[in-house]
C-alpha cells in the first residue's frame, strides 16, 4: 500500500515539472549569487534537485530553483557550463522551497544560509554507504593490560565505531586498535542507511480522560483534514498534553504521513523517547546537534525518502526535507531555546507555523505557559485554542506561597530561608522529594579578592568569570573561556583571600548537603547532565526514589514527571527581573510556573515556596495567587501601552568589530543614516549590555515598529546602502529575544 502511493506521487511529479534546459541554481555558498548552468543531454533535473556544478576548478553544490524567483544573471546561453551530476536524493519539494524563501526574506538572511539548514548533512549527499563497526569476538588478547581489561568488560554487548567504543569504554582509540590487531575486537560491515524500527499507531493506546478525549478528537480531525491549522494546546502542567497530542501522531502514522515533534532540550528528549516507545512500540528518529555524522546521514535520508515516520528533534529539525509531512508539534512552545541566536536568527516556533502553512498541515503548539504572542493569536482567532484545564488523574495544582526575603533573611552565606528549610526537613522525613530551582550554573557568579578588591573578569567579554567548584575552574558563560581557580590573588598575590559572591546551583547544593547531611542530592545543570545517557540516568534515579533533593537550573523546570516530588523551592524569583530584558516579566512567570508545575503531580499534593524580595511585583503576586489570567492581562496591557509585541514589532541591529572605534563608527554611520519614519522608532546606537563578546566590541540599535510597518523592507533598504570595513559585522535580529 505504502509503496503504491509513493509511486503514484513520483509519477505525477514528473508530469507537472517540465524538464529544465537552463538551470538556475541556488548555491550553498552565500558568497555566490545564483548561477546558471546548462543541463546536459540525458540528464533529467527537476526544480528542487540537488546538483553538483563546476565553478572554476572546483565542484560546488546547488539546488535547481525556479528562474523567476532568483535574481537573473546575464551569462549568455552559449557560455553556460554543463552541470556535472544530480545528487541521488529526492528533490527539495516546492513547499520547502517556499519556506526557504520566506525564512530568508523574513529574517533578512541569505537564502544559502537557510538552504544549508535543509541540506544539514553533507554525508547524506554521498552515494550508498557502509561503515565498519566493531564488537567483541570472544577471543582474548595475548597480553592483558588493565586498560584492555577495562575495555573488554565495558564493551560486552556493544557494537559501534572505534571512536564511539572509545567513549563507551573510556579508553583511548589506540587501546581499542590494539585489541583489533589482537583479534579481540572484530569488524562488522553495516549499512549506514539500515531501516528504522517501524512505529505502530495502535501499539499501546491510552484511556483518555473526557477532557483529553475531546481535545484529541479535534487534533485527530485536524490531521485527517489535511489543511493548515495552527492550534494552541493550552493545558496546565500535568494535564497530559503529550498523551493527548500522541493521538494526533497516531492518526498521521495510520495515514502513513510523517510527524515532526520539536522539543526544546536534549535532557527532555530522553524522558520523551521512553514515553514515545511505550505508546508506539519503537523509538522515533532523533535529530539534534550531537548526532554522529553517520546517524545524521541515516536520519536525513530516511526523512527525505519518507521512511522516517516520526522525527523528534531540536529546532534544526524544522528545516529537514520531509517527504510527506502530516503534522508538526512544538512541545513547550513558549521555550526561548526555539530562538536561534546565531547564523540565521529565526524562531522555530514561528517558522513551524509557516511550514505548516506551506505544507497545508496542522501545527500544534503545546504549553502550560504560552508565549503572549501565541495567546494573542488565539484570542484574535488566528490560532485555534484547545484547553486541558485540570491535571490528569485527579492530581491537584500545587499550593503556592511566597517567602518574603526582606523578612525571612537567611544567615550569612546561606540562601535557603527558614520556611523553605522547614519544608525540606518535612519532605525528607516523609520520604518525599524536594526540588530547588536557581537559574544560575556554577558555584558563584563573581569571585573577588578580599584584600585588594580584584574581580575575575573574562578577557574576551564584559562579564565576570563564574566559579565552578566541581571542575575547579573559573569560566565565562558567554564565550567558554576557562582558567583554573588560582590559590592566590593574581593582582596582589595574597593567598586565601578569594571570596565567592552570590550563589549558583553548586553552592545551593552545598548548602543542602550541610543542612540535610543524610539527603541524597542531585545537581542538575548542563554541566552535569550533558549527554542523553546522563539525562536518562538522572530520570531513572529520580523516578526510582534514589534522590531526595534535586537542585537545578532551568533544565529542571520542564518535562519531568516525578510523582514523589511534593516540594518546589524557588531560590530567587527576582533574578530574571533584573537587567534590561523586555520580556523579563513573561519569562519569570513562565519559568516559575513551569518549575512549580513539577510539584504534586502524583497522588500527594504539592507545595511551592517562592523566595522573593519583591512580593508585590505584579508577576510575583500573580504567581502567588495562581492567577494566570491576571498576569497575562496585566502583561498584555503593558505591551499594548509600549507598542511591544504582539501589538508592535521589534528588531535589533547588532554591530560588532574587534576594534572598538571601528565598531562604534560603523554603528554611528548606521545611526546617522537612519530613515525618518512615522511608524518605526529607532533607538540607539548604544554600547550593548554585553559590550565585549568573544573579543568583539558590540553596539546595538533597537527598532520598534507598528504592526503595519514594512519593517524588513525598511531595514534592507537602510542597511543595503551602507558599506563597512571588512572587520565589521552587522547582524539583524527580527523579533529578538535577547537584548544583551
Ligand atoms: P503535561 O505534558 O501536560 O505536563 P503529561 O503528558 O506529561 O502532562 O502527563 C502527566 C502524567 O500523567 C504523565 O505521567 C502521563 O503519562 C500521565 N497521563 C496523562 N494522561 C494519561 C492517560 N490518559 N492515561 C494514563 N496516564 C496519563
Ligand atoms: Zn568570555
For the entire predicted model, the pTM comes to 0.90
For residue 475, give the ligand nearest its CA.
2
pLDDT per residue over 695-711, tens digit each?
999 999 999 999 989 99
pLDDT per residue over 364-413, tens digit each?
999 999 999 999 999 999 999 999 999 998 889 999 999 999 999 999 88
List Cβ neighbours of 56 (8 Å cut-off, separation of 6 or more): none
Surrounding residues of ion ligand 2, Cβ less than 5 A: 458, 460-461, 476, 478-479, 481
DSSP helix/strand/coil, 317: helix
- Judge whether residue 105 has pLDDT over 70: yes
Higher-pLDDT residue of 210 and 580 is 210
**pLDDT-derived band of residue 2, with 50, 70 and 90 as boundaries?**
very low
Map 2-54 to HEC letters: HHHHHHHHHHHHHHHCCCCCEEEEEECCCCCCCEEEECCCCCCCCCCCEEEEE
- The neighbour count for residue 694, using CB atoms within 10 Å, is 16
pLDDT per residue over 646-681, tens digit each?
999 999 999 999 999 999 999 999 999 999 999 999
pLDDT per residue over 171-201, tens digit each?
999 999 999 999 999 999 988 888 999 999 9
Helix (H) or strand (E) run with residue 365 in it = strand 362-367
Give the alpha-carbon dihedral of 537, 538, 539, 543, to 10 degrees.
100
**pLDDT-derived band of residue 472, with 50, 70 and 90 as boundaries?**
very high
Gap between the Cα atoms of 398 and 700, Å rounded: 42
Percent of the chain with pLDDT over 70: 97
* Mean pLDDT over the full length of the chain: 92
Gap between the Cα atoms of 338 and 366, Å rounded: 13
DSSP helix/strand/coil, 689: strand
For residue 395, give the ligand nearest its CA.
1
**pLDDT-derived band of residue 533, with 50, 70 and 90 as boundaries?**
confident
Contact 46, 30 (CB under 8 A): no
pLDDT per residue over 578-615, tens digit each?
766 788 999 999 999 999 999 999 889 999 999 999 99
What pLDDT is recorded for position 323?
98
Mutate to test the pocket of ligand 1, among 219, 236, 238 (most ligand atoms within 8 A of CB): 238
What pLDDT is recorded for position 256?
97
Gap between the Cα atoms of 312 and 668, Å rounded: 44
For residue 212, give the ligand nearest its CA.
1
Atom of ligand 1 nearest to the CA of 597: 4
Strands (E), 450-603: 466-468, 473-475, 482-484, 498-501, 521-524, 549-552, 565-570
Atom of ligand 1 nearest to the CA of 208: 23
Contact 236, 209 (CB under 8 A): no
Task: Give 130 Cα–ligand 1 centroid separation in angstroms.
Answer: 41
What pLDDT is recorded for position 536?
83
Amino acid at each position: 500500500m505504502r509503496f503504491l502511493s509513493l509511486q503514484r506521487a513520483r509519477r505525477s511529479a514528473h508530469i507537472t515539472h517540465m524538464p529544465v534546459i537552463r538551470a538556475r541554481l541556488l548555491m550553498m555558498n552565500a558568497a555566490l549569487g545564483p548561477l546558471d548552468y546548462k543541463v546536459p543531454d540525458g540528464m533529467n533535473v527537476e526544480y528542487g534537485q540537488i546538483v553538483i556544478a563546476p565553478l572554476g576548478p572546483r565542484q560546488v553544490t546547488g539546488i535547481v530553483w525556479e528562474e523567476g524567483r532568483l535574481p537573473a544573471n546575464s551569462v549568455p546561453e552559449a557560455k553556460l557550463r554543463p552541470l556535472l551530476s544530480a545528487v541521488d536524493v529526492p528533490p527539495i519539494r516546492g513547499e520547502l522551497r517556499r519556506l526557504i524563501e520566506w525564512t530568508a526574506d523574513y529574517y533578512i538572511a541569505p537564502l544559502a544560509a537557510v538552504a544549508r539548514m535543509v541540506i544539514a548533512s553533507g554525508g547524506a549527499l554521498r552515494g550508498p554507504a557502509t561503515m565498519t563497526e566493531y564488537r567483541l569476538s570472544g577471543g582474548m588478547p595475548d597480553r592483558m593490560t588493565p586498560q584492555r581489561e577495562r575495555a573488554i568488560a565495558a564493551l560486552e554487548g556493544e557494537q559501534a565505531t572505534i571512536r564511539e567504543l572509545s567513549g563507551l569504554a573510556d579508553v583511548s582509540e589506540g587501546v581499542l586498535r590494539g585489541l583489533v590487531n589482537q583479534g579481540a575486537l572484530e569488524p562488522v560491515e553495516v549499512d549506514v542507511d539500515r531501516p528504522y524500527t517501524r512505529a505502530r499507531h495502535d501499539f499501546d493506546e491510552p484511556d483518555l480522560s473526557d477532557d483529553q478525549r475531546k481535545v484529541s478528537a479535534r487534533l485527530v480531525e485536524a490531521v485527517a483534514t489535511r489543511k493548515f491549522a495552527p492550534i494552541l494546546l493550552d493545558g496546565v502542567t500535568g494535564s497530559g498534553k503529550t498523551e493527548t497530542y500522541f493521538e494526533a501522531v497516531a492518526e498521521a502514522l495510520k495515514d502513513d504521513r510523517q510527524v515532526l515533534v520539536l522539543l526544546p532540550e536534549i535532557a527532555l528528549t530522553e524522558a520523551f523517547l521512553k514515553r514515545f516507545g511505550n505508546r508506539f512500540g519503537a523509538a522515533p528518529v532523533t535529530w539534534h546537534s550531537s548526532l554522529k555524522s553517520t546517524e545524521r546521514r541515516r536520519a536525513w535520508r530516511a526523512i527525505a525518502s519518507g521512511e522516517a515516520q516520526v522525527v523528534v528533534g531540536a529546532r534544526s529539525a524544522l528545516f529537514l526535507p520531509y517527504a510527506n509531512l502530516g503534522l508538526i508539534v512544538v512541545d513547550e512552545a513558549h521555550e526561548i531555546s526555539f530562538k536561534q541566536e546565531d547564523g540565521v536568527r529565526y524562531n522555530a516556533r514561528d517558522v513551524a507555523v509557516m511550514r505548516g502553512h506551506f505544507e497545508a498541515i496542522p501545527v500544534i503548539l503545546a504549553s502550560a505557559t504560552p508565549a503572549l504572542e501565541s495567546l494573542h493569536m488565539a484570542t484574535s482567532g488566528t490560532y485555534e485554542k484547545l484547553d486541558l484545564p485540570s491535571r490528569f488523574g485527579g492530581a491537584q495544582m500545587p499550593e503556592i506561597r511566597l517567602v518574603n526575603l526582606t523578612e525571612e533573611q537567611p544567615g550569612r552565606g546561606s540562601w535557603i530561608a527558614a520556611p523553605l528549610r522547614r519544608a525540606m526537613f518535612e519532605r525528607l522525613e516523609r520520604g518525599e522529594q524536594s526540588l530547588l530551582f536557581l537559574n544560575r550554573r556554577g558555584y558563584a557568579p563573581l569571585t573577588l579578592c578580599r584584600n585588594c578588591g580584584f574581580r575575575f573578569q573574562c578577557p574576551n567579554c564584559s562579564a565576570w568569570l563564574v566559579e565552578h567548584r566541581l571542575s575547579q575552574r573559573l569560566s565565562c558563560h558567554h564565550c567558554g573561556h576557562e582558567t583554573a581557580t588560582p590559590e592566590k590573588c593574581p593582582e596582589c598575590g595574597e593567598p586565601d583571600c578569594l571570596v565567592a559572591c552570590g550563589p549558583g546551583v553548586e553552592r545551593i547544593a552545598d548548602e543542602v548537603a550541610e543542612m540535610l547531611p543524610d539527603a541524597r542530592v542531585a545537581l542538575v545543570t548542563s554541566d552535569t547532565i550533558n549527554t542523553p545517557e546522563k539525562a536518562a540516568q538522572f530520570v531513572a534515579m529520580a523516578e526510582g526514589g534514589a534522590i531526595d533533593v534535586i537542585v537545578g537550573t532551568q533544565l529542571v523546570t520542564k518535562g519531568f514527571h516525578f510523582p514523589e516530588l511534593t516540594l518546589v523551592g524557588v531560590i530567587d524569583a527576582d533574578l530574571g527581573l533584573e537587567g534590561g530584558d523586555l520580556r523579563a516579566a513573561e519569562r519569570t512567570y513562565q519559568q516559575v510556573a513551569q518549575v512549580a508545575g513539577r510539584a504534586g503531580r502524583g497522588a500527594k499534593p504539592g507545595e511551592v515556596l517562592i523566595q522573593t524580595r519583591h512580593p508585590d511585583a505584579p508577576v510575583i503576586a500573580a504567581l502567588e495567587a495562581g492567577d494566570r489570567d491576571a498576569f497575562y492581562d496585566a502583561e498584555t496591557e503593558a505591551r499594548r501601552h509600549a507598542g511591544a509585541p504582539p501589538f508592535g514589532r521589534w528588531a535589533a541591529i547588532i554591530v560588532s568589530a574587534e576594534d572598538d572605534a571601528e565598531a562604534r563608527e560603523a554603528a554611528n554611520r548606521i545611526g546617522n543614516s537612519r530613515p525618518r519614519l512615522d511608524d518605526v522608532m529607532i533607538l540607539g546606537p548604544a554600547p550593548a549590555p554585553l559590550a565585549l563578546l568573544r573579543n568583539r566590541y558590540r553596539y546595538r540599535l533597537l527598532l520598534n515598529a507598528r504592526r503595519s510597518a514594512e519593517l524588513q523592507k525598511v531595514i534592507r533598504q537602510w542597511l543595503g546602502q551602507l558599506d563597512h570595513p571588512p572587520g565589521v559585522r552587522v547582524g539583524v535580529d527580527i523579533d529578538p529575544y535577547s537584548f544583551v
